[in-house]
Structure 1
Amino acid sequence: MTGNEGQPRPPHHPHDKGYRQLLADKRVFLELLKTFVREKWVEAIDADDLILVNKSYVLQDFSEKEADIVYRLKTWDKNVIFYVLLELQSTVDYLIPFRLLLYMVEILREIYNNTPQYERESKHFRLPPIIPAVLYNGVGSWTAALSFREMLDSYQDFSGHLLDFRYLLFDINRYKEEELMRAANLIAGVFLLDQKMRPEELVGRLQKLAGILKRLTPDEFRHITSWLRNVVKPRMPEGFREKVDRILDASNPWEVERMIYNLELTLEEMQRQALLKGKMEGKLEGKLEGELEGELKGKREVARNLLLLNVDIDTIIKATGLDPEEINALKKQLEQ
């Protein structure tokens, strides 16, 4: 395992940055689990039992990759310590089961190395469970294998002898709007805003979420405005990003309608400018096409006159810049 200090990292996708900031808040991370994972162990988790592991797990064979979010947890009923490893994906990665396995091994190796020798050699020594998960916000379907054994050749022939695990998948675009609205919380609201949409649909989505946003705490609301900064703002032209910043800086949960209205005005202005720019570019393009067509028409007229004077084709090519095929076609027309 290698730390990420001093090593160059490729720039993160805007969504990665947004989700990293969002899910570094343990209450939001717990909300993610309790909203979308229907398993008993989730019910037993309390926010006070969550500890964000402030360390990057970078793999030697995938030096451009690093584990995104790792939490250390314990359940209140059994006091079992375990880990949740969450990977953020905006594209399908068919190696994800293998990558998750390597991250899990690195976490277990670190725990083993940090455990006193007399403890780890005891017959009572146990390694903690690690729950792997993937959060995917790509537009297309997630088509990677959902379990590790599916990456093994002829796994059906060896049944219970193989290492295997199945990761949790949070596939944002597969959740229905009704389900997200019914959850009525911060993480469901973010998922709804992150689902595929045209820029002009943003205001409509925010209007649907207005009632939920009003009920958020100031800290939760700041998560929403940070999300809009990290994900929505980069999609806008440079001149409008400052306006969006000013709107979001002045926003709060009890004035959600004002924030939505101001964003709506900004988006309408952006669309008007884009439309005007498109019309101007269309007129300019039409003018240039007309000029080029006129210039070409003039060259053809010159070529016809030279052909009538029996000037040789090479000289006509040099005089007009027309290609030989076009001049020969003109010559055939004159001979008819």
Structure 2
Amino acid sequence: MKGSPGPPHHPHDKGYRQLLSDKRVFLELLKTFVRETWVEAIDENDLILVNKSYVLQDFSEKEADVVYRLKIKDKSVIFYILLELQSTVDYLIPFRLLLYMVEIWREIYNNTPQNERESKNFRLPPIVPAVLYNGAGPWTAALSFKEMLDSYQDFSGHLLDFHYLLFDVNRYSEEELIKAANVIASIFLLDRRMRSEELVGRLQRLAGVLKRLTPDEFRHFTTWLKNVVKPRMPGDFSAKIDGILDATNPWEVERMIYNLELTLEEMQRQALLKGEMKGRMEGRMEGKMEGKIEVAKNLLQLGIEIDKIAWATGLAPDEIAALKKQLEQ
């Protein structure tokens, strides 16, 4: 088991870690997407972020996690959110969640005085596991642990089981996300599968929501954009994106979107220009090679030795030998 989280393996990890480390945003996630009565009773002041990762070394390159403890009177509930930000579904998710939950319980057991944990009143805290998934394809892994057990139907009532919450970014509709009008829903809308040229259009649809965010909420939003959008940009444009986002306040959203649009258009023009220049260079190189091959063929027909032709044209001797075989056929 790891201590404090190591460097994230994916830009989204850092973005979502920072985002959900704010308990207001975490509570927003639950209250926006979990339709259960117990969610409404949660108070932000009772949430405590656990600054520790329970992802095991075996899976440390696959995912990151966020853990919260909810203190209610003398009891506590633990929320365990696994960030499954891969392009494909991992069907071992229920098993991996179980391993992480056991690690949490093991730590609590080991940190409880022996006389307390051996008391008949000792109870482990309930853990509510959840998965945040942003893959393009549908989530097809089992949603309960028992489904991973062979012949589980034959032993109903005797097997360990749990259901986890699933936050599937690409399955929420655009209308639902815009209607939610908060930070986490806005980020889910931007994180849905899209081409780079669609970014500005989605920001424009979110403009009304973004203008109503508090400065702190808006900073969460722009930080997420930096962590996820910037790595896709060339160095010069990455710095420009930084400048645009750092200089923007919620009431200046339209100006931010306009400046981002101009920057992205400039980046596309430069990419197109580079592509055209590369095509021309490749065409010239191809023309030069065709010219060398033609000269080599003429020299072969005159009976010139392969080594001398290689010296004259710069072609490799084996290339010239292959040309000679073609001419002799």
DSSP 3-state at the match of 2:244:
helix
Tell me the amino acid that sits aligned with residue 43 of structure 2. Answer: D
Distance 1:28 1:63, change over 3 A: closer
Residue 299 of structure 1, CA deviation: 1.1
Deviating more after overlay: 53-62 vs 267-276: 53-62
2:304 paired with 1:298: no
Tell me the residue number matched to 2:229. 232
Residues 78-121 of structure 1, C-alpha deviations (whole Å, 9 max, x = no match): 87521110011122333221221111111112222233333333
2:83 paired with 1:88: yes
Deviating more after overlay: 217-226 vs 237-246: 237-246
Distance 1:66 1:193, change over 3 A: closer
Paired with 1:245 and 1:74, the residues of 2 have a C-alpha distance of 38
Residue 41 of structure 1, CA deviation: 1.2
Paired with 1:202 and 1:262, the residues of 2 have a C-alpha distance of 13
Residue 176 of structure 1, CA deviation: 1.2
Tell me the amino acid that sits aligned with residue 95 of structure 1. Answer: L
Find the structure with the greater CA-based Rg: 1
* Contact 2:237/2:267 (<8 A) preserved: yes
* Identity within the alignment, %: 73
Alignment of 1:1-336 (within 5 A): 1-4=1-4, 9=6, 11-59=8-56, 61-62=58-59, 68-74=65-71, 80-91=75-86, 92-306=89-303, 315-316=305-306, 319=309, 321=317, 322=319, 324=321, 326-332=323-329
Tell me the amino acid that sits aligned with residue 83 of structure 2. Answer: L
What are structure 1's unaligned runs of at least 5 residues? none
DSSP 3-state at the match of 1:93:
coil
* Contact 2:2/2:55 (<8 A) preserved: yes
DSSP 3-state at the match of 1:160:
coil
Taking only aligned residues, the RMSD between alpha carbons, in angstroms, comes to 2.2
Paired with 2:307 and 2:164, the residues of 1 have a C-alpha distance of 69
Residue 250 of structure 1, CA deviation: 0.7
* Contact 1:50/1:74 (<8 A) preserved: yes
Deviating more after overlay: 226-235 vs 144-153: 144-153
Deviating more after overlay: 62-71 vs 145-154: 62-71
Residue 304 of structure 1, CA deviation: 2.3
> How many equivalent pairs are there?
320
* Contact 1:86/1:134 (<8 A) preserved: yes
Residue 300 of structure 1, CA deviation: 1.4
Distance 1:284 1:65, change over 3 A: closer
Residue 219 of structure 1, CA deviation: 0.3
Residue 278 of structure 1, CA deviation: 0.7
Paired with 1:275 and 1:62, the residues of 2 have a C-alpha distance of 40
Residue 316 of structure 1, CA deviation: 4.4
Distance 1:172 1:143, change over 3 A: same
* Contact 1:218/1:253 (<8 A) preserved: yes
Tell me the amino acid that sits aligned with residue 159 of structure 1. Answer: S
DSSP 3-state at the match of 2:136:
coil
Residues 301-324 of structure 1, C-alpha deviations (whole Å, 9 max, x = no match): 222232xxxx7xxx4477453455
Residues 211-253 of structure 1, C-alpha deviations (whole Å, 9 max, x = no match): 0000000000000110111001111111111111111111000
Paired with 1:194 and 1:239, the residues of 2 have a C-alpha distance of 23
What are structure 2's unaligned runs of at least 5 residues? 311-316
Alignment TM-score, normalising by the size of structure 1: 0.88
Paired with 1:262 and 1:65, the residues of 2 have a C-alpha distance of 35
Distance 1:317 1:330, change over 3 A: farther
